[in-house]
Each structure stands twice: as structure tokens, then as C-alpha cells.
């Protein structure tokens, strides 16, 4: 039985050693899934995610709102491409999803983005504040956070296979592959996810400033987000930093990137196809 346990454990160790990478901020990342694989998978997931929503008429239903989101996001993307030239070939996309109850936005690998009307309506962000939202999401893609999360899930699966194989009881094996999978994903992924959120805040506020948006809006945005979410969940149970901690950190970052915002230079706009 020990031999059966050691085989997947050794596979996991070798995978961890061969899957080390560094994020744009210098943080060590586990990337068992390559950025290219994550981009390919995200392109497919993006289509599948939007398909039922498009059938219900919930995607880009308001041209005025879409135009606003694309203009702001286009300025952010132009700065992202300047800083990360390899992203110029990404098929960037942003969609507005009409779900009034959903206060959220996201960006998959390869620049596949969406924002929900719940955030636009409930938070009612200014253009500067909306730029902070979209820049934060773009930063997730630039930092390979999708590939990182996929890699964490893969690492969890490798370890759980060893438990399942070693178990003689079929009920125990089933438990290992369900409850243990959830527990392992929660235990491993949550700290990395909080780190990824902080990393995206740091990169995002700089991108927004370079695109011509006031970095102080990052603070006012999260005051609004805190109010809209009723204060938010406790930090130790959330993938996001607590709003109060986030506001403090962003307030310290704002003066550092303000010179970018104050530059009297053209702010190019990426044109969506």
C-alpha cells in the first residue's frame, strides 16, 4: 500500500518542481498548466459560458452601456499591450451581461472578459472607478491567474488519486474523490487566490493610471463595493481581501502611480473586433 501511495506522491513532487514560474510582481507561481493551454481552454469556456445567456438576450443588450465599457476597457488593454507585448495577439473581448443581482466582473486567460449589470447598477461607478474594475480584471489575465488556478486544481487531483488508489473501501474512495477534493481545493486554493487578488490590485491600479484614470478612484470604488456587499465576508473565509484591508493597500498604492495619471500624453484605445 505504501508503494501505491508513493507513486502519485512522487508524480506530484516532480510536477511541482517542473511547474514553477514567476508572476509579473516576482511572486513564485505553480503552473502545471501552461499559459497557452489556459488561453485555449478559456476561449472554449468563454463561448460555452455566454451561449445560454445570448439565447436569453442577456449579452450586450444595451449599446450605450457596452460602448462605455468598451471605451474604458480599450484604454486599459492598450496599456497592457504596451507593458506586455506578447498580449497583442490575444483575441481580447469584453461583454456586458444583464444580471442585475450579480455584482461581479471577470477576465479569463487570453483577455476574455465580462462585467455584470449588477455591478454597474448597484455600485454605479464613475468612469475612473469602472476603469479600476476592468484594469483589475485585465491584471488577472496578465498574471496567468487562470493557469495558476487550473494548476492548483490539477495538483489536488494528483494527490487525491493516491488516496483513492490506496483505499480498499469503495465508499472511502468515493469520499476521497468528492469531499476530499473539495476540501483540498479549498485549503490549497484560498490563500493563493487572496494573493492573486492583491497582485491584480497592484498591477491594475498602475494600468488604469497609465490609461488616464485617477488612481484615487480605486479607494472610492471599494468604499462603494463595501456598501453594496453589506460589508463583505470575513477575510479568512473569502478569496478576496477584506474591503477595509484592500482600501488601505490601494490608498498606499495611489500616490505611487499618480505620476502616470498626471502625464500629458496620448491615451491610445484598443479597438474590439
Q: Write out the catalytic residue numbers.
A: 137
Q: What is the 3-state secondary structure (H, E, C) of the chain?
A: CHHHHHHHHHHHHHHHHHCEEECCCCCEEECCCCHHHHHHHHHHHHHHHHHHHHHCCCECCCHHHHHHHHHHHHHHHHHHHHHCHHHHHCCCEEEEECCCCCCCEEEECCCEEEEEHHHHHHCCCCHHHHHHHHHHHHHHHHCCHHHHHHHHHHHHHHHHHHHHHHCCCHHHHHHHHCHHHHHHHHHHHHHHHHHHHHHHHHHHHHHHHHCCCCCCHHHHHHHHHHHHCCCCCCHHHCCCCCHHHHHHHHHHHHHHHHHHHHCCCCCCCCCCC
Amino acid at each position: 500500500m505504501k508503494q501505491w501511495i508513493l507513486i502519485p506522491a512522487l508524480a506530484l513532487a516532480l510536477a511541482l518542481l517542473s511547474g514553477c514560474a514567476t508572476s509579473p510582481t516576482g511572486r513564485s507561481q505553480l503552473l502545471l498548466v501552461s499559459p497557452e493551454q489556459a488561453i485555449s481552454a478559456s476561449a472554449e469556456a468563454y463561448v460555452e459560458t455566454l451561449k445560454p445567456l445570448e439565447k436569453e438576450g442577456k449579452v450586450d443588450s444595451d449599446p450605450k452601456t457596452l460602448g462605455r465599457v468598451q471605451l474604458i476597457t480599450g484604454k486599459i488593454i492598450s496599456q497592457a499591450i504596451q507593458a506586455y507585448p506578447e498580449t497583442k495577439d490575444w483575441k481580447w473581448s469584453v461583454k456586458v451581461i444583464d444580471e442585475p443581482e450579480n455584482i461581479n466582473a471577470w477576465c479569463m486567460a487570453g483577455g476574455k472578459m465580462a462585467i455584470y449589470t449588477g455591478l454597474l447598477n448597484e455600485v454605479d461607478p464613475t468612469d475612473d472607478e469602472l476603469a479600476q474594475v476592468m484594469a483589475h480584471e485585465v491584471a488577472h489575465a496578465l498574471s496567468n491567474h487562470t493557469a495558476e488556478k487550473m494548476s492548483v486544481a490539477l495538483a489536488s487531483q494528483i494527490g487525491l488519486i493516491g488516496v483513492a488508489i490506496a483505499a480498499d473501501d469503495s465508499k472511502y474512495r468515493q469520499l476521497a474523490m468528492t469531499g476530499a477534493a473539495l476540501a483540498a481545493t479549498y485549503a490549497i486554493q484560498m490563500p493563493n487566490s487572496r494573493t492573486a487578488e492583491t497582485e491584480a490590485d497592484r498591477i491594475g491600479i498602475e494600468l488604469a493610471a497609465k490609461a488616464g484614470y485617477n488612481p484615487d478612484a480605486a479607494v472610492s470604488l471599494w468604499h462603494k463595493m463595501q456598501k453594496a456587499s453589506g460589508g463583505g465576508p470575513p477575510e479568512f473565509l473569502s478569496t478576496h481581501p477584506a474591503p477595509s484591508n484592500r482600501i488601505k493597500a490601494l490608498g498606499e498604492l495611489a500616490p505611487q502611480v499618480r505620476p502616470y495619471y498626471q502625464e500629458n500624453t496620448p491615451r491610445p484605445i484598443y479597438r474590439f473586433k
